[in-house]
Amino acid sequence: MYIWATQPWSCPQRNLLFSLRGRLADLPPPPRGSAADCALPPPNAVPVRRPKRGRPPTSYFDRLHDKYYHAGRLLKYSGDARFWSTYPPTHKEYRPLADPPPVNSLYHKHGGIIARLELVDALVCFTYSIWTRDYCRKTCTKETWTTIAAFLTWCKSKWLAQDAINEAEKAFIGLIFMIEAFIDGRKMFYTVRQELDQEMDKVTEQAKAKIETAIQEVDQNSNNTGLLGNKSQGTPPMLPSPASIAPTNSANSTPTNPHGSTPNTAARPPATSQNPPPQQSRPQGPPKPNPPFFPLMPQKVRDNPAASYIEAASKVTEPIDVNLIYNLKDLIATFRSGAISMSEAQQTLNLAALARHFPTTFSRMVNSTLSPTEEHEPDFEDEEGELFWPGQLITGEGLGWVCLMGKAMIKEFGKAYGYKGLDGVVPKPNDAPKPSHRYHPQRTTHPHPQAVSHSPSTSGPR
């Protein structure tokens, strides 16, 4: 069985074996989503349960906004610069790095995936920074969210352009779609709460008043028609004279049976009834459903609706202003966009995909003791604390959980490629040396991140 092992090795064969061993030792660990990775069972680790700090003040969230907005700008620049450097030198978009990574480094070997990780990391940071300002104020500034749309589309296109990617990488495409869907969900929820709810209440009340007036006019017209019908009957006809109604056997009448015999009543045909017997009504099919505006009609009419009432109510109109028209149109467009994005997201990013390819992130969510309303509890850079599955976007919340999950996915997936995050970005020209951005798990009651020397702005990524 092992006869080949007893044969003497020649020098070329021995050199080839040692060469293969050296190459295998230089390769990085298998990326998430490979066949070797799928064969490993997910660890059943319980996340670290950090002490809960409660809801921090608004100033804390403002500092988070500045910190991660600045981090997003650094990652976006680095991702773009690194991505352009991966093109062949003959490509028109090729732009070499001023200080490229060493040839034998993971950043050089996997420049394409590192660039895409930096881009999606920047998207997560930008989204988290805008969310922090909205979350602490319980609002949604739609104008600010529109500034992230162009970069989200750019980041999505860079991930979709890669054909041969594994299932773990496809999960990041689902993450981008999920971010887009939850942004739309938040915009829809707060558009209804802050604008449409009150405006539509006013329009509805005005329409109800017009419908009631229209029904009263139907009743009034019906009463007037009845009065006119009674007047049109005029004077009754004159009574007949006594001679015209005298019996046929009176003294002045001519007998109709001169022989005095009994009249043959059997020969006479029976008198026909003036009213024929009623015919059985044919079935008319199922009753017609009530119109959509039926709940706007008065209660007494809804209990016994008449066709004339429904017809009168269907002709009622109510004008609306251009702001309400725009908000309604924007709500419809946002709903369609969110539905499409969420449909795409759930194809590649779901609990099953997380369990297979991101077991640590999966364990941090399914073994969590946090509630859906505690998005402020986890630290953004924490790699061991509890998380929470984002839930339903129809509530208007959950976007913070999406960002926290995305950051955890990036850190877990990036370990196989030596991804360093902000510590490995391509610096901008004339930038100061990069400080360390490593996470320190010590927590206080209200930990404040170090303020970044950058003018705060809510204009989104530039």
Mean pLDDT, contiguous 10-residue spans, the chain (462 residues): 42 46 47 44 73 94 97 97 91 91 94 96 98 96 95 95 86 98 97 95 95 92 66 56 55 52 54 55 69 89 87 94 96 97 97 96 96 96 96 95 98 96 91 51 39 37 44
In the structure encoding, which two tokens stand for residue 164, read together?
Answer: 């041969």
**Distance, CA of 248 to CA of 97 (rounded, Å):** 130
pLDDT of residue 453: 34
pLDDT of residue 452: 35
Residue 224 Cα distances to 49, 63, 301, 305, angstroms = 79, 73, 20, 21
pLDDT of residue 1: 40
Q: For the chain, how big is the Rg over CA atoms in Å? A: 41
pLDDT of residue 262: 53
HSE-CB of 225 using CA atoms within 13 angstroms = 6
SS3 sequence of 190-211: HHHHHHHHHHHHHHHHHHHHHH
pLDDT of residue 441: 42
- Is residue 437 within 8 A of residue 169, CB to CB? The reply is no
pLDDT of residue 82: 95
pLDDT of residue 175: 98
**Distance, CA of 102 to CA of 78 (rounded, Å):** 16
**Distance, CA of 450 to CA of 66 (rounded, Å):** 10
- Is residue 49 within 8 A of residue 431, CB to CB? The reply is no
Region at 385 (left for phi over 0; alpha for psi -120 to 50; beta for the rest): beta
In the structure encoding, which two tokens stand for residue 458, read together?
Answer: 């809510």
> pTM of the prediction?
0.74
Is residue 430 exposed (0-12), middle (13-18) or buried (19+ Cβ within 10 Å)?
Answer: exposed
- Is residue 437 within 8 A of residue 422, CB to CB? The reply is yes
pLDDT of residue 451: 35
pLDDT of residue 6: 40
**Distance, CA of 162 to CA of 133 (rounded, Å):** 34
In the structure encoding, which two tokens stand for residue 66, read together?
Answer: 């500045």
Length of the chain: 462
